[in-house]
């Protein structure tokens, strides 16, 4: 091996080690044989969520084929009908009129033909104008070769589209000899080019290079791989669940459909990195003449890329809601406790609250916000105005159910003079959050919410900001953390000696200018999940947590300031959240 090759491999190893040590959301495809043979005999209710999407029992992972068709929202998802670990995967299917109240149907797609007998893995839905929806999904044959298939509704007059047919001319795309046959999956929603041809992407890798292969078709049946992939990036490993869509530079309210082309748009390419189980996206230009995508210089294309969510969030997928003209994001949050625990509680995995996706006014990142329909679940409300928090002070938010709540708060920090200097060596937000935590006094911050807490802080999950002065930039450097380190007193009791509950100090930097001294935070708290939106959705972090004492009526919610600089809670509104009903 040449010296440069050795240096390259070492660099890659270093990147992997550092990235892995900061993440490690649990792998999905690991097969836990011992647990696979066990079926669920009871469901542990303690940490089940109330208003998140979750089937009555068993394992779930990626959201698949979300779509809106003739008045109905459809959500399919990867589901193990037999147990609480990954395996036996089918496409479970639920429908809703409002994305909140759901009705579960029979699985839509399950292994039955030679081209999917080894597995029915992730994919997307496309609505063909004048014809109806088509699902593209990955099937595995008996040798575990991955290939792309299509399925169509058996009866288009059934409003719920319950039965799906897999025609015999499948597969529509199989790996050729230049491709990796076990790394070829997760087709995107297809889009129509100006030439009248459909396009879709399929995630893959060659050696360490992540790849989004592009396929074209005139009739949606015969698909041809284009000469070049849409995009690829060295040393990023397998790209799972790619997602590719346009966003408007000028329209701050509406999303754009997949095939939209016109002036004042950018494109987003998101990939889910199998190696580390986190995702990143770039903003860039889609050169439709060459069918190639080029990320903007300002969007890091690799491990340091921008993220939809800096926490427990994976295999996400967007769809265009033609009813309300929104682009809506679904993402899956795996459990963070041990596999034995998942098995004994009889369920694992939730879908997070769908989020709208828009381009930020800076044009340099996306912003996310829980869909407004979630507000229909808001119940009892408490409000607090203009409350000053001196250094080291906290107050409790009383009068709502803290384990099942929606909280919106706007802080005003006044001046940033006392902000600590930012050390340019601090490259990684999660390391920084882990190092400083929520109790080490800073100048401006840490301040924020303390969710799912016991009054003595034996257990607590703080979500907070810490503001630094950045000598090299005009703006302050703002760190946002959702720190699960002290979320549970449970000592790991998994049967496997190496199993440990995963309690990371998830964090991201926030592009907030504090021009008026203000920064906002919203957290959706639901028993074992805290989804937090900083600075109106510029940075989003999801944590899964498993308190032992801070549960149901014994959970508390606080607002705190551990910075030297006083902070004012300009306004706070918190709601108890209701459970959705079944769709009727």
Length of the chain: 584
Least gap, CB of 111 to ligand DQQ (angstroms):
12
Environment class of 197 (CB within 10 Å of its CB; exposed 0-12, middle 13-18, buried 19+): middle
Q: Is 18 exposed, middle or buried (0-12, 13-18, 19+ CB in 10 A)?
A: middle
Q: Among 309, 332, 354, 334, which residue's Cα sits nearest to residue 96?
A: 354
Residues 9-68 that bind ligand DQQ (CB under 6 A): 28, 61-62
Q: Tell me: does residue 186 bind ligand DQQ (CB under 6 A).
A: yes
Nearer to ligand DQQ, 136 or 479 (CB): 136
By the rule CB under 6 A, 270 interacts with ligand DQQ:
no
Beta bridge partners of residue 388, listed in sequence order: 568
Minimum separation from the CB atom of position 544 to ligand DQQ (A)? 16
Does residue 127 touch ligand DQQ according to CB under 6 A?
A: no
Q: What is the smallest separation between the CB atom of 211 and ligand DQQ, expressed in angstroms?
A: 14
466 close to 418: Cβ distance less than 8 angstroms: no
89 binds ligand DQQ (CB under 6 A): yes
Of the pair 51, 239, the CB lying nearest ligand DQQ is at: 239
Separation between Cα atoms, residue 303 and residue 338, nearest integer Å: 26
Picking from 408, 452, 459, 440, the residue whose alpha carbon sits closest to that of residue 564 is: 440
Nearest CB to ligand DQQ, comparing residues 273 and 429:
273
Establish if 315 lies at the interface with ligand DQQ (CB under 6 A).
Answer: yes
Contact 213, 202 (CB under 8 A): yes
Residue 460 CA, distance from chain mean position: 23
- Which contiguous run of DSSP H or E holds residue 4? helix 3-22
Closer CB to ligand DQQ, 133 or 331, in the complex: 331
Shortest Å distance, C-beta 135 to ligand DQQ: 13
Question: Is cis: bond before 80, omega within 30 of 0?
Answer: no
Cβ at position 334, least distance to ligand DQQ in Å = 9
Smallest gap from Cβ 187 to ligand DQQ, in A, equals: 10
Eight-state DSSP code of residue 400:
S
- The reply to whether 185 sits near ligand DQQ by the rule CB under 6 A is yes
Nearer to ligand DQQ, 78 or 126 (CB): 78
To ligand DQQ, the closest distance from the beta carbon of 29 in angstroms equals 7
Judge whether 440 and 420 are in contact, CB under 8 Å. no
Helix (H, G, I), strand (E, B) or coil at 508: strand
Q: Is 236 one of the binding residues for ligand DQQ (CB under 6 A)?
A: no
Residue 108 is a binding residue for ligand DQQ (CB under 6 A):
no
The C-alpha atoms of residue 116 and residue 428 are separated, in whole angstroms, by: 41
Figure out which of the listed residues 161, 241, 247, 525 binds ligand DQQ, where binding follows CB under 6 A.
241
Q: Is 121 in the site for ligand DQQ (CB under 6 A)?
A: yes
Q: Smallest Cα–Cα separation from 90: which of 125, 58, 66? A: 58
CB of 143 to ligand DQQ, least distance (A): 17
| Residue 335 touching ligand DQQ (CB under 6 A) | no
Residue 260 φ then ψ, to 5°: -60, 130
Q: Based on CB atoms, which residue is closest to ligand DQQ, 119 or 476?
A: 119
Residue 84 or 374 having the CB closest to ligand DQQ: 84
C-beta nearest to ligand DQQ: residue = 121
Is 68 within 8 Å of 321 (Cβ atoms)? yes
β-strand pairing of 326-333 with 355-359:
antiparallel
**Do 54 and 45 contact (CB within 8 A), yes or no?**
no
Determine the size of the site formed for ligand DQQ (CB under 6 A): 14
Among 49, 122, 149, 487, binds ligand DQQ (CB under 6 A): 122
Alpha-carbon distances, residue 158 vs 94, 134, 163, 165, 394 (angstroms): 14, 15, 9, 14, 55
Q: Which residue from 23, 54, 78, 505 is in contact with ligand DQQ, where contact means CB under 6 A?
A: 78
The radius of gyration computed from the CA coordinates of the chain, to the nearest angstrom, equals: 23
**132 DSSP β-pair partners:** 128
Q: Binding pattern to ligand DQQ, positions 138-167, x when CB under 6 A?
A: x-----------------------------
Q: Is 312 in the site for ligand DQQ (CB under 6 A)?
A: no
C-beta closer to ligand DQQ: residue 102 or 239: 239
Q: What are the catalytic residues?
A: 62
Q: Decide if residue 531 touches ligand DQQ (CB under 6 A).
A: no
Regarding 240 and contact with ligand DQQ (CB under 6 A), the answer is yes
What is the DSSP-derived secondary structure letter of residue 20? H
Q: Which residues bind ligand DQQ (CB under 6 A)?
A: 28, 61-62, 78, 89, 121-122, 138, 185-186, 240-241, 314-315
């Amino acid at each position: 091996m040449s010296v440069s090759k050795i240096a390259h491999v070492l660099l890659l190893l270093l990147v992997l080690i550092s990235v892995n040590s900061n993440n490690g959301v649990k792998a999905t495809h690991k097969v836990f044989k011992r647990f696979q043979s066990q079926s669920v005999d009871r469901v542990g209710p303690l940490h089940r969520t109330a208003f998140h999407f979750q089937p009555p029992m068993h394992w779930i992972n990626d959201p698949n084929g979300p779509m809106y068709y003739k008045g109905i929202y459809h959500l399919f998802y990867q589901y193990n009908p037999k147990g609480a670990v990954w395996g036996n995967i089918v496409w479970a299917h639920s429908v809703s009129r409002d994305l909140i109240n759901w009705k579960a149907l029979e699985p839509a797609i399950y292994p039955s033909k030679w081209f999917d007998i080894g597995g029915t893995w992730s994919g997307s839905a496309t609505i063909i104008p004048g014809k109806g929806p088509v699902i593209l999904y990955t099937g595995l044959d008996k040798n575990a070769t991955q290939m792309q298939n299509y399925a169509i509704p058996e009866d288009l007059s059934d409003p719920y589209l319950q039965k799906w047919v897999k025609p015999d001319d499948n597969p529509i795309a199989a790996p050729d000899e230049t491709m990796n046959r076990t790394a070829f999956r997760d087709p995107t929603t297809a889009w129509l080019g100006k030439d009248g041809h459909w396009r879709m992407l399929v995630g893959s890798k060659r050696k360490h290079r992540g790849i989004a292969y592009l396929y074209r078709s005139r009739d949606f049946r015969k698909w041809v791989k284009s000469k070049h992939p849409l995009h690829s990036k060295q040393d990023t490993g397998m790209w799972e669940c790619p997602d590719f869509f346009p966003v408007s530079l000028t329209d701050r309210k509406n999303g754009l459909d997949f095939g939209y082309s016109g002036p004042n748009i950018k494109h987003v390419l998101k990939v889910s990195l199998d190696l580390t189980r986190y995702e990143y996206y770039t903003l860039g230009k889609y050169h439709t003449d060459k069918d190639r995508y080029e990320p903007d210089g300002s969007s890091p294309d690799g491990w340091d890329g921008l993220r939809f969510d800096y926490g427990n969030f994976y295999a996400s997928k967007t769809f265009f809601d033609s009813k309300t003209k929104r682009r809506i994001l679904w993402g899956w949050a795996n459990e963070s406790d041990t596999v034995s625990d998942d098995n004994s509680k009889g369920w694992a995995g939730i879908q997070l609250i769908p989020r709208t996706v828009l381009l930020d006014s800076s044009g340099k990142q996306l912003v996310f916000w829980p869909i407004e329909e979630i507000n229909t679940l808001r119940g009892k409300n408490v409000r607090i105005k203009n409350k000053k928090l001196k250094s080291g002070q906290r107050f409790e938010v009383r009068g709502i159910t803290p384990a099942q709540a929606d909280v919106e708060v706007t802080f005003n920090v006044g001046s940033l003079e006392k902000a600590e200097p930012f050390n340019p060596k601090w490259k990684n937000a999660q390391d920084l959050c882990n190092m400083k935590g929520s109790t080490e006094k800073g100048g401006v911050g840490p301040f924020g919410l303390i969710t799912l807490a016991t009054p003595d802080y034996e257990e607590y999950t703080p979500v907070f900001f810490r503001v630094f002065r950045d000598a090299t930039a005009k703006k302050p450097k703002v760190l946002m953390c959702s720190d699960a380190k002290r979320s549970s007193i449970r000592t790991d009791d998994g049967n496997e000696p190496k199993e440990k509950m995963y309690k990371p100090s998830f964090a991201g930097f926030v592009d907030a200018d504090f021009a008026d001294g203000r920064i906002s935070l919203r957290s959706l708290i639901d028993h074992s999940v805290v989804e937090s939106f900083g600075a109106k959705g510029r940075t989003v972090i999801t944590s899964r947590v498993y308190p032992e004492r801070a549960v149901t009526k014994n959970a508390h919610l606080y607002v705190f300031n551990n910075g030297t600089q006083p902070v004012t809670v300009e306004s706070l509104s918190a709601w108890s959240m209701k459970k959705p009903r079944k769709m009727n």
